[in-house]
């Protein structure tokens, strides 16, 4: 029996993880679930899945949850705050941590899971993008296991030989290129002149995937693919020129690996995150995820093209940051979180997200953080720059 903590259990990945786990109750037990401030979501989840511990981000939310838990007579211990997040990610009772908090808020608990040698199923790409090699060092030094949940990285992982999955070099396995696929999001064919009028509800309506608001906007700007480029370089120890972004609007191929003999291996499936979640929980075994197999006779189109950097300046910025180094990716991640939040709140336009990001990257992108404290400070500074830039140029 494996004991699991789900960080970000009330979110899209968190709920999909609970769905997969509920199909395998004799193999996985639920130790702890965490959420931000969505008390109703957490109550429903506790009723259905009976974790031992539930953690909310602040005391107010935890008090509300505690009252409901008592009323319902559930045996769930309620906690709150950052320390509790770290505790449920690192304590001895836990074998697997599903890292599914969105954004930089997930870094410290995910780091704690690495430092205490857990299996980390990593959905929270921002944590890796902002901390890079420092996070990978913590994984290596403490014999933790890092399994990618992001569908592209999970697909790449599945298409690589075991030696590379275990940290071996791409070249010695005959890998020529990683082909990182992306749908291009909802605005792949929208005239660029209309981009300034894109509203939050238009941006979160992804054609293929159902996801949280932040990653949905990132998919619409293609910053998501940029963060994934950085993520892939780190996870697979790849040079810049060993990864190519390929647009594949149908999201059936989740990414590919091209080998020196001309073979290209792809992982395919429905656009449903329960597949990579099940893979990361059970690896090297396979378990049922609840996802229907593909029916190829029903697939009408299967198309590919190159990304357009004029249409998606955020993708260009992320690739530039990836070449510059850790400081640049930490800054870009932080600035993007602030800009996307401002866009979702109606404070800036869709097209301003790239403007804010470019400004922060130019101002702060040459920093070279070497410790986690440096990273956290730089992250804070970039957020302040982004907020100041937004306030200068708009309504707030
Ligand atoms: P979501 O917004 O649906 O859920 C986010 C979760 O994080 C929620 O449980 C929320 O309560 C929690 N959270 C948010 N801010 C927090 C804070 N400050 N402190 C503590 N908890 C906090 O997001 P999601 O779509 O589930 O995505 C989660 C992560 O997985 C993101 O990093 C995203 O990039 C990644 N991811 C998601 C998908 C997908 O299909 N949804 C695919 C690939 C990768
Ligand atoms: Mg992805």
Residue 225 φ then ψ, to 5°: -65, -35
Q: Are residues 283 and 331 in the same domain?
A: no
Whether residue 68 lies inside any domain: the answer is yes
- What is residue 347's predicted lDDT score, i.e. its pLDDT? 96
State how far Cα 241 lies from the chain centre. 23
Whether residue 318 lies inside any domain: the answer is no
Which residue's structure tokens are 């009408």? 300
- What is residue 394's predicted lDDT score, i.e. its pLDDT? 58
Residue 265 alpha carbon to ligand 1 centre in Å: 29
Residue 228 alpha carbon to ligand 2 centre in Å: 7
Residue 301 φ then ψ, to 5°: -120, 155
Examine the fold and report which residue of 148, 168, 189 is the final residue of a domain before the chain moves on. Answer: 148
Examine the fold and report which residue of 298, 316, 344 is the final residue of a domain before the chain moves on. Answer: 298
CATH code for position 35: 3.40.50.720
Q: Are residues 216 and 165 in the same domain?
A: yes
Q: Are residues 183 and 250 in the same domain?
A: yes
CA distances from 356 to 115, 138, 191, 339, 350 (A): 34, 32, 22, 7, 11
Q: Are residues 116 and 177 in the same domain?
A: no
Distance CA 6, CA 34 (A): 6
Residue 27 alpha carbon to ligand 2 centre in Å: 27
- In DSSP terms, 266 is beta-bridged to 256
For residues 131 and 107, the answer to whether their CB atoms sit within 8 Å is: yes
Show the ligand 1 pocket: residues with CB < 6 angstroms.
8-14, 35-36, 38, 57, 100-102, 105, 123-126, 150, 209, 211-215, 273
Considering the entire predicted model, what is its pTM? 0.97
pLDDT digits (tens, 9 = 90+) for 366-394: 999 999 999 999 999 999 999 999 988 65
Q: Which ligand is nearest to the CA of 14?
A: 1
Whether residue 367 lies inside any domain: the answer is yes
Give the count of domains, the chain.
3
Q: Are residues 28 and 131 in the same domain?
A: yes
For residues 171 and 200, the answer to whether their CB atoms sit within 8 Å is: no
pLDDT digits (tens, 9 = 90+) for 120-145: 999 999 999 999 999 999 999 999 99
Environment of ion ligand 2 (residues, CB < 5 A): 150-152
The whole domain housing 189 covers 156-298
State how far Cα 29 lies from the chain centre. 23
Whether residue 312 lies inside any domain: the answer is no
Examine the fold and report which residue of 121, 148, 175 is the final residue of a domain before the chain moves on. Answer: 148
Whether residue 357 lies inside any domain: the answer is yes
CATH code for position 331: 1.10.1740.10
Q: Are residues 280 and 356 in the same domain?
A: no
Mutate to test the pocket of ligand 1, among 13, 35, 206, 379 (most ligand atoms within 8 A of CB): 13
Residue 150 alpha carbon to ligand 2 centre in Å: 5
- In DSSP terms, 80 is beta-bridged to 56
Q: In the chain, what percentage of residues exceed pLDDT 90?
A: 96
Counting from 1 in the atom list of ligand 1, the atom nearest the Cα of 211 is: 41
Look at strands 96-99 and 77-80 and give their pairing.
Answer: unpaired
Whether residue 309 lies inside any domain: the answer is no
Structure tokens at 255: 């990414």
Q: Are residues 283 and 173 in the same domain?
A: yes
Question: pLDDT by residue for the chain (396 residues), tens digit each?
Answer: 999 999 999 999 999 999 999 999 999 999 999 999 999 999 999 999 999 999 999 999 999 999 999 999 999 999 999 999 999 999 999 999 999 999 999 999 999 999 999 999 999 999 999 999 999 999 999 999 999 999 999 999 999 999 999 999 999 999 999 999 999 999 999 999 999 999 999 999 977 878 999 999 999 999 999 999 999 999 999 999 999 999 999 999 999 999 999 999 999 999 999 999 999 999 999 999 999 999 999 988 899 999 999 999 999 999 999 999 999 999 999 999 999 999 999 999 999 999 999 999 999 999 999 999 999 999 999 999 999 999 886 545
Rg (CA), the chain: 20
Q: Are residues 94 and 168 in the same domain?
A: no
State how far Cα 19 lies from the chain centre. 18
- In DSSP terms, 177 is beta-bridged to 258
Q: Are residues 6 and 67 in the same domain?
A: yes
């Amino acid at each position: 029996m494996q004991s699991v903590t789900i960080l970000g259990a009330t979110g899209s990945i968190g709920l999909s993880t609970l769905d997969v786990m509920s199909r395998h109750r004799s193999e996985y037990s639920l130790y702890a679930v965490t959420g931000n401030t969505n008390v109703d979501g957490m109550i429903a989840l506790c009723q259905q899945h009976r974790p031992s511990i539930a953690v909310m981000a602040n005391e107010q939310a935890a008090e509300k949850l505690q009252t409901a838990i008592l009323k319902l007579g559930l045996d769930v211990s309620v906690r709150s705050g950052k320390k509790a997040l770290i505790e449920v990610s690192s304590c001895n009772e836990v074998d697997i941590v599903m890292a599914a908090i969105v954004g930089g808020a997930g870094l410290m608990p995910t780091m704690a899971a690495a430092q205490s040698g857990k299996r980390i199923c990593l959905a929270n790409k921002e944590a890796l993008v902002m901390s890079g090699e420092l996070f990978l060092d913590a994984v290596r030094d403490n014999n933790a296991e890092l399994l990618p949940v992001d569908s592209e990285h999970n697909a790449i992982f599945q298409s690589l030989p075991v030696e590379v999955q275990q940290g071996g070099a791409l070249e010695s396995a005959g890998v020529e290129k990683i082909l990182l696929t992306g749908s291009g999001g909802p605005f792949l064919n929208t005239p660029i002149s209309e981009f300034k009028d894109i509203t939050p509800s238009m941006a979160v309506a992804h054609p293929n995937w159902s996801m949280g608001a932040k990653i949905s906007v990132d998919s619409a700007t293609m910053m998501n693919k940029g963060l994934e480029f950085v993520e892939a370089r780190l996870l697979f120890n790849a040079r810049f020129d060993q990864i190519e972004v390929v647009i594949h609007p149908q999201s059936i191929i989740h990414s590919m690996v091209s080998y020196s003999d001309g073979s290209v291996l792809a992982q395919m499936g429905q656009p449903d995150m329960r597949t990579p979640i099940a893979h990361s929980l059970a690896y090297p075994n396979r378990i049922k995820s609840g996802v229907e197999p593909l029916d190829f006779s029903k697939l009408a189109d299967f198309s590919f093209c190159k990304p357009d950097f004029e249409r998606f300046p955020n993708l260009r910025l992320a690739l530039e940051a990836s070449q510059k180094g850790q400081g640049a990716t930490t800054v870009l991640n932080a600035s993007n979180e602030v800009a996307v939040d401002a866009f979702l709140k109606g404070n800036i336009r869709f097209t301003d997200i790239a403007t804010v990001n470019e400004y922060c990257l130019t101002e702060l992108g040459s920093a070279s953080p070497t410790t986690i404290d440096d990273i956290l400070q730089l992250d804070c500074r970039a957020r302040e720059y982004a907020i100041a830039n937004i306030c200068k140029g708009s309504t707030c």
